[in-house]
Amino acid sequence: MYVGFCWLIAAIGGFLFGYDIGISGGVTAMDDFLIKFFPKIYERKLEAKEDNYCKYDNQYLQLFTSSLYISALIASFIASILCKKCGRRTTIMVAGACFIAGAGISAGALGLKMLILGRIVFGFGVGFGNEAVPLFLSEVAPVQHRGAVNILFQLFITIGILVANLVNYAVSKVHPFGWRISLGLTGVPAIILFFGSMIIVETPASLMERGKESEACHTLKKIRGVGDVDAEFDQLKISSEKAKEIGSPWKNLLKKSSIPPLVIGVMLQIFQQFTGINAIMFYAPILFQTIGFKNKGSLLSAVVTGTFNVLSTLIAIWRVDKAGRKKLLLVASVILFISQTTIGVILSTHLKPTGSLSPTLGYLVLGLVCVYVIAFACSWGPLGWLIPSETFPLETRTSGFAVSVGTNMLCTAIIAQAFLTMMCSMHAYIFFFFAAWIVVMGLFVLFLLPETKNVPIDAMCDQVWSKHWFWRRFIEDDGSKEIV
């Protein structure tokens, strides 16, 4: 019960990340929000002949979304240091405090600068939370259930997105401050995260990393529920001693033996974002308005896709430790490619700059978006976080995962800042752009991603990298050599 409580409290960090993803697209589709902060876009919406693909093209509107991820990128590297020096639990607590402050600033925003400041503070919460929570979940989970436990983070992201969509739909009828309610409600789960982080246990790996050996042993017995943890504790101790021999974890990332997990961690984060998922999640209401749904209809459609997102992540929890990581990613890549290209064909053929899709085609596109979301939520969504969190050795775990998180935030910021402009210039062909990325990522998984199912987190080097046809050359060579 206590261990489950720790998992759930930590996973609220994922909920807050998802809520911030879902809330931004909803409030930017609210007329009251546009009138206050983006009046030119509101006027453009009223133009009957305005280009369907360009009506929301505004750099400041996109900055409202992307500013969060730019600050999260910076925060993730600060969080790496905090994770190592003070532990995962303290870092989660700091994330909660940032979310509370961000909620207050955003909900009370009087102008665009204050609004974006609130998003930046939110971003620090995302950066700290996304660094600490996946590490926390991977380190406290038993090896046979590590995949399922870690995916709690992604599950709560999807729940956060769904709740944000439901809130947006409900408060869209509250004039003129419905958007303030949407942004301010972030404070509720943030308070739970902040105070809950005072109750949860610190991870044994973090305690050992900071020289608290007896406390690490006691905690390990507590979270495993048994007295005999000698084998796991010995493995943890060996990893910790090896980590202490390394002066700087950042410098150690430059060593040849660090290349396999670093490349995998970075590329999975790039690919996760260039599936186009957050372009759809950020701007789902705007996207559905573009293809012809009215304002409330577009918000309701976002709720539908959010529901499928949650349910599909439950499938990932069920299958990840049985089917394995690689199989889920490959099957999903095929489905993602088919859905993206089909949406692109329909829109390029039937959605002109003015006018809208027929109801039949509109609902067909909505269905394809749901298929796309289902495939992503079963695979690239949760596994993009799981695999990097379980493949780095202890000596580079916080720094390596910080690079992965930072890469994710950078790519997310790029997509958030560029998507509406890209849609304006590329029209429906933007879906073919993302489809091309899906082909590349599928080939990467097929040839370069090893299977990590049921492998102890501190045995990845011996059981995974040293046996892979390509990556073993980096392990077999002298691991002390740095990349020049």
Per-residue pLDDT of 25-58, as tens digits, reads 789 878 899 999 999 888 877 775 667 678 777 8
- pLDDT, residue 291, reads 58
By mean pLDDT, which of 181-185, 266-270, 458-462, 474-478 is the weakest?
474-478
Quick check: 325 and 453 in contact, CB under 8 A?
yes
Give how far Cα 456 sits from Cα of 139, 232, 236, 462, Å: 10, 9, 10, 10
Residue scoring higher pLDDT (336 or 296): 336
Q: Ranked by mean pLDDT, which of 82-86, 189-193, 292-296, 405-409 comes out on top?
A: 189-193
- pLDDT, residue 286, reads 61
CA 260 to chain centroid, in Å, comes to 22
- pLDDT, residue 86, reads 94
pTM: 0.82
Angle at 183 between CA 316 and CA 167, to 5 degrees: 60
> Average pLDDT of 337-343?
93
Name the pLDDT band for 424 (thresholds 50, 70, 90).
confident
Q: 176: cis peptide before it, omega within 30°?
A: yes
C-alpha to C-alpha distance for 279 and 419, rounded to whole angstroms: 6
Name the pLDDT band for 298 (thresholds 50, 70, 90).
low
- Which DSSP string do the residues of 220-231 spell out, in sequence order? HHHHHTSS--HH
Residue scoring higher pLDDT (398 or 82): 82
Number of residues that make up the chain: 484
Q: What are phi and psi of 408, to 5 degrees?
A: -60, -45
Q: Which two tokens stand for residue 288?
A: 């559905």
CA 181 to chain centroid, in Å, comes to 24
DSSP H helices in 275-396: 277-290, 295-323, 325-350, 359-377, 380-391
Position 283 pLDDT exceeds 60: no
By mean pLDDT, which of 199-208, 225-234, 263-272, 435-444 is the weakest?
225-234
Residue scoring higher pLDDT (55 or 254): 254
Task: Classify the C-alpha dihedral 341-343-346-348 as positive or negative.
Answer: negative
- pLDDT, residue 17, reads 92
As a whole number, the mean pLDDT across the chain is: 87
End-to-end CA distance of the chain: 49
The alpha carbon torsion through 374, 277, 402, 250 (nearest 10 deg) reads 110
Q: What are phi and psi of 441, to 5 degrees?
A: -70, -30
Position 282 pLDDT exceeds 60: no
Residue scoring higher pLDDT (391 or 290): 391
Q: What are phi and psi of 297, to 5 degrees?
A: -65, -35
- pLDDT, residue 284, reads 62
Name the pLDDT band for 449 (thresholds 50, 70, 90).
very high
Name the pLDDT band for 281 (thresholds 50, 70, 90).
low
Quick check: 348 and 428 in contact, CB under 8 A?
yes
Name the pLDDT band for 484 (thresholds 50, 70, 90).
very low
Per-residue pLDDT of 465-480, as tens digits, reads 999 999 999 986 644 5
